[in-house]
Amino acid sequence: MKSREVKVAGLTIGGGTPIKIQTMCNTHTQDVMPSVEQCMEMAAAGAELIRLTTQGMKEVEALKEIKKILRERGIETPLVADVHFSSDVAIEVAKVADKVRINPGNFAKEHSVAQSQFARFIEVCKEYNTAVRIGINHGSLGERIINLYGDTPLGMMKAAMEWIEMCIDNDFYNVVVSLKASNTIVMSTAYRLLWKAMQERDVVFPVHLGVTEAGNGDTGRIKSAVGIAALLKEGIGDTIRVSLTENPVNELPVARIIADYFYSGEYAKEKITQRHYDCANWDEFIIKASCDFGPLLLDKEIDDFTVTATCAGEPVYAEAIEEFKDNLQQAARRKFTKPEYIACPGCGRTLYNLEETFNEVKRRTSHLKGVRIAIMGCIVNGPGEMADADFGYVGEGKGKVCIYKGKEPVLRSVPQEEAIDALLKIIEENMQ
Ligand code: SF4
């Protein structure tokens, strides 16, 4: 069964229409003109939806202004507001944005309170013709669901289905759903369970795919391609976001290659163990090869594979191929030869240079095979989203960082200049 069609302003998601690619601003939403400029760059790079963080009422006002300026400049790309925790903000921004992303389970600790706030929110969305994404991440499951089903793909699916049922009961169908995780097995399992549950329910909402906290560079691209491709191959997925800890504009060509590869019909539909690629550049090669071999490794259909390639007519050296293969084995969670980095893409809540910090942490920890290190932009969502990291570097406000060991904050309010050293010290102390 195909997914339903959902209208987001002039854009249709689902119903067998082509996969839509999207990204998210990392500007502060209150900085209206830098946000407008970034949206324009994203639209020019092919973004079909653009999300902005909306943490409070000031950001709702700023989003209104950003939308107005973009429309005056002829940019019609639908804008999505990203809201966490506050149903009041979600309700206000539903009058402004074309789509609102929420996890209704975080509206209130008490489930019945969250339910009544969600019902109010739905009424406003109906009135303003606003679409909704129910976005449940592995790291943001509520206490009630964790007590019932554990911190598991099943719990993620069950949480989503509860809110889906409520949308159906309230006759609201302008809904997209996502169940992201940084671990490609958790992510693909959760989406498969959700897809099955929606089929059985006979109401299939479009699905937004993504691997959260995928990191940057080759590893971020490879991890995203593995998780997204595993599902697209099965016909699951109507819109995709590749999250990279880089300039968000860089996410769009990666998402485009993944989506186009599926339409080209060239991707491996059968079990294969070797392939040659002639690609325009390195990124195209690693993304296509990850789409082909990543899902086969992830689902344990193969253990190893052989690839050869040319990029811009030049043969790719064996060392580069080996490095790619190691990264792909790790992204598919089959063989761990390096540290595992969990880094959020950053957004308007990030108050430090995330990309620079992440690269520095990577440089100084590259020898720590198998250790899971998280670099997160903010203390509001970071600790939850970094899931099963062994150690974490989490932005705690202007110039301050909190260092985590597992789920415990062990050093609070560390000045940013000292924070990488502090993280390394904690890692060393605990690795002896
Ligand atoms: S964890 Fe990162 S992407 Fe998520 S809200 Fe915080 S800063 Fe933004």
Q: With beta carbons less than 8 A apart as the criterion, state whether 375 and 354 touch.
A: yes
Q: With beta carbons less than 8 A apart as the criterion, state whether 331 and 223 touch.
A: yes
Ligand 1 in reach of 245 Cβ (< 6 A): no
DSSP string, 65-128: HHHHHHHHTT----EEEE--S-HHHHHHHTTTSSEEEE-GGGS-SSHHHHHHHHHHHHHHHHHH
Tokens 């999505």 -> residue: 80
Q: How far apart are CA 277 and CA 264, in angstroms?
A: 14
Burial of 275 by CB count in 10 Å (0-12 exposed, 13-18 middle, 19+ buried)?
middle
Instruction: Look at residue 308 in the predicted model and tell me its pLDDT.
Output: 98
Q: How far apart are CA 204 and CA 73, in angstroms?
A: 36
**Residue 289 backbone zone (phi > 0: left; psi -120 to 50: alpha; other: beta):** alpha
Ligand 1 in reach of 346 Cβ (< 6 A): yes
Tokens 């109507």 -> residue: 238
Q: With beta carbons less than 8 A apart as the criterion, state whether 83 and 100 touch.
A: yes
Q: CB under 8 Å to 187, separation ≥6 — which residues?
A: 138, 179, 180, 181, 211, 212, 227
Ligand 1 in reach of 385 Cβ (< 6 A): yes
Tokens 């082909």 -> residue: 292
- Find residue 24's DSSP bridge partners: 51
Give the chain's largest Cα–Cα span: 61
Q: With beta carbons less than 8 A apart as the criterion, state whether 222 and 324 touch.
A: yes
With the most atoms of ligand 1 within 8 angstroms of its CB, the residue from 381, 386, 393, 398 to mutate is 381
Q: With beta carbons less than 8 A apart as the criterion, state whether 173 and 198 touch.
A: no
Q: CB under 8 Å to 53, separation ≥6 — which residues?
A: 24, 25, 29, 59, 82, 347, 348, 349
Phi, psi of 305 (to 5 degrees): -160, 165
Find the helix or strand (DSSP H, E) in which 288 lies. Answer: helix 282-298
* 383 C-alpha to ligand 1 centroid (Å): 10
Ligand 1 in reach of 377 Cβ (< 6 A): yes
Please tell me whether residue 24 adopts helix, strand or coil conformation: strand
- Letter for the amino acid at 105? G
- Letter for the amino acid at 27? T
- Find residue 163's DSSP bridge partners: none
Q: With beta carbons less than 8 A apart as the criterion, state whether 240 and 47 touch.
A: no
* 395 C-alpha to ligand 1 centroid (Å): 9
- Find residue 409's DSSP bridge partners: 404
* pLDDT string in tens for the chain (432-residue length): 899 999 999 999 999 999 999 999 999 999 999 999 999 999 999 999 999 999 999 999 999 999 999 999 999 999 999 998 899 999 999 999 999 999 998 899 899 999 999 999 999 999 999 999 999 998 888 888 999 999 899 999 999 999 999 999 999 999 999 999 999 999 999 999 999 999 999 999 999 999 999 999 999 999 999 999 999 999 999 999 999 999 999 999 999 999 999 999 899 889 999 999 999 999 999 999 999 999 999 999 999 999 999 999 999 999 999 999 999 999 999 999 999 999 999 999 999 999 999 999 999 999 999 899 999 999 988 998 887 899 999 999 888 999 999 989 999 999 999 999 999 999 999 987
* 346 C-alpha to ligand 1 centroid (Å): 5
Q: How many of the other CB atoms lie within 10 Å of CB of 379?
A: 18
* 73 C-alpha to ligand 1 centroid (Å): 29
Closest CA to 142 of 177, 115, 171: 115
CATH number of 340-431: 3.30.413.10
Residue closest via CA to ligand 1's atom 6 equals: 378
Please tell me whether residue 149 adopts helix, strand or coil conformation: helix
Q: With beta carbons less than 8 A apart as the criterion, state whether 348 and 26 touch.
A: yes
CATH number of 6-209: 3.20.20.20
Query: What DSSP designation does 312 have?
Result: T
Q: With beta carbons less than 8 A apart as the criterion, state whether 94 and 65 touch.
A: no
Helices (H) and strands (E) in the chain, counts: 14, 18
Q: How far apart are CA 118 and CA 93, in angstroms?
A: 14
> Strand runs (DSSP E) across 200-243, as ranges?
208-209, 239-241
Ligand 1 in reach of 86 Cβ (< 6 A): no
Ligand 1 in reach of 347 Cβ (< 6 A): yes
Please tell me whether residue 250 adopts helix, strand or coil conformation: helix
* 379 C-alpha to ligand 1 centroid (Å): 8
Ligand 1 in reach of 162 Cβ (< 6 A): no
Q: How many of the other CB atoms lie within 10 Å of CB of 57?
A: 13
Q: Where does the chain hold its CATH 3.30.413.10 domain(s)?
A: 340-431
Tokens 């989003």 -> residue: 63
Burial of 415 by CB count in 10 Å (0-12 exposed, 13-18 middle, 19+ buried)?
exposed
Q: Where does the chain hold its CATH 3.20.20.20 domain(s)?
A: 6-209
Question: Counting every residue, how long is the chain?
Answer: 432
